[in-house]
């Protein structure tokens, strides 16, 4: 018999692995123009929301990234809602994508240790290879880190 799951687990300043998709999985993100908008919004995330952004990969129809709130001022849901709102507005205003929308919601996973972080990073780093976009993950231009590695 399996032991019961804990009802509450508390981690100080957890790091989350986030995945969020473009509505209808439209392949519009992996262009230099849109990728720069997403990165700029991530660069300002700490100042605006107290959320630090780690490694990220921008795929044509979704993004993966690590994030952590060092000051616990705004919830993850609030941060994601605001980030999606600001990126949507900027993408619509700055590109030809006037009907751009993120899919509602997002998937989050708490990274509990270094091994978990390494496994998730390897998974998202290989995403462009699995999608047939490049042969080697080093070739994919839309990846990196912002505040922490």
Burial class (CB in 10 A: 0-12, 13-18, 19+), 133: middle
pLDDT at 85 over 80: yes
Given the structure tokens 């990165």, which residue do they identify?
A: 39
* pLDDT at res. 112: 84
In angstroms, what CA-CA distances link 109 with 12, 19, 106, 119?
Answer: 15, 9, 10, 12
Given the structure tokens 């091994």, which residue do they identify?
A: 115
pTM, entire model: 0.88
pLDDT at 9 over 90: no
Q: Measure the CA–CA gap between 25 and 63, rounded to whole angstroms.
A: 11
- Least confident stretch, 9-13, 60-64, 66-70, 81-85: 9-13
Given the structure tokens 């690590």, which residue do they identify?
A: 66
pLDDT at 6 over 50: no
Helices marked H in the chain — which ranges? 32-43, 45-49, 76-94, 114-125, 127-130
């Amino acid at each position: 018999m399996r032991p019961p799951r804990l009802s509450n687990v508390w981690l100080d300043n957890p790091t989350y692995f986030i995945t969020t998709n473009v509505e209808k999985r439209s392949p519009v993100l992996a262009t230099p123009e849109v990728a720069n908008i997403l990165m700029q919004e991530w660069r300002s995330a700490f100042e605006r929301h107290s959320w630090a952004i780690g490694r990220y990969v921008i795929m044509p129809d979704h993004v993966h990234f690590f994030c952590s709130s060092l000051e616990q001022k705004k919830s993850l849901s609030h941060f994601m809602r605001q980030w999606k709102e600001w990126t949507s507005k900027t993408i619509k205003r700055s590109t030809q994508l006037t009907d751009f929308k993120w899919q509602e919601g997002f998937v989050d996973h708490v990274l509990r240790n270094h091994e978990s972080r390494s496994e998730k990073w390897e998974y998202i780093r290989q995403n462009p290879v699995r999608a047939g976009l490049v042969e080697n993950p080093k070739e994919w231009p839309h990846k990196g880190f912002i505040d922490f590695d």
